[in-house]
Amino acid sequence: MSKSITDIQQEIIQEFSLLDGDMEMTVFYIMELGQKLPAMNEADKTEDNVVKGCQSKVWLTARLDSDRVFFSADSNTAITKGLVSLLVRIFNGQQPDEILRAELNFMQQIGMERFIGTQRSNGFAAMIKQMKIYALAFKTQQEVKS
């Protein structure tokens, strides 16, 4: 059984709390998380897979496997790659319904707006929106099949 979205958010909050609000350490940690993101297939880095509304380039794809959604993502900047890796971690392996119902609150809990600025916050919101759009598409596909 995979962890719930709430549990994963709690883990992230816990990890960031260890950094004690240190801006430099936090940014470094986010960049480090991005480096751990599984490599995205180069063939998927197309214009169609670019998340609209991000200042940096962010590519995002999703597939449905046994009623669970799996995301693949990458970015051309280290911080953005780290941010999208957090979302992939939260949403990967969840069912479409769980993704659609998810209330993400870890950003406020870790004080993310302090170190990512407005442009990136908008981009982050665009990434979440895109992931929920994928989940909605898969949910619709499932309903059509059943």
The whole-number pLDDT of residue 115 equals 76
Is residue 101 within 8 Å of 52, Cβ to Cβ? no
- Report pLDDT for 114: 79
Q: How far is CA 8 from CA 12, 32, 45, 46, 101, in A?
A: 6, 18, 27, 29, 15
Residue 10 belongs to domain with CATH number: 3.90.1010.10
Q: Residues 132-143: pLDDT tens digits?
A: 999 999 999 988
Say yes or no to pLDDT of 101 above 70. yes
Read off the pLDDT of residues 31-79 as tens digits, 9 standing for 90 and up: 999 999 999 999 999 999 999 987 889 999 999 999 999 999 999 999 9
What's the 3-state SS for 91-111? HCCECHHHHHHCCCCHHHHCC
pLDDT value of position 133:
97
Q: What are the backbone dihedrals phi and psi of residue 94, each rounded to the nearest 5 degrees, phi first?
A: -95, 160
Is the pTM higher than 0.85? The answer reads yes
Q: How many domains does the chain have?
A: 1
Domain that holds residue 86: 5-145
Express as a percent the part of the chain with pLDDT over 70: 99
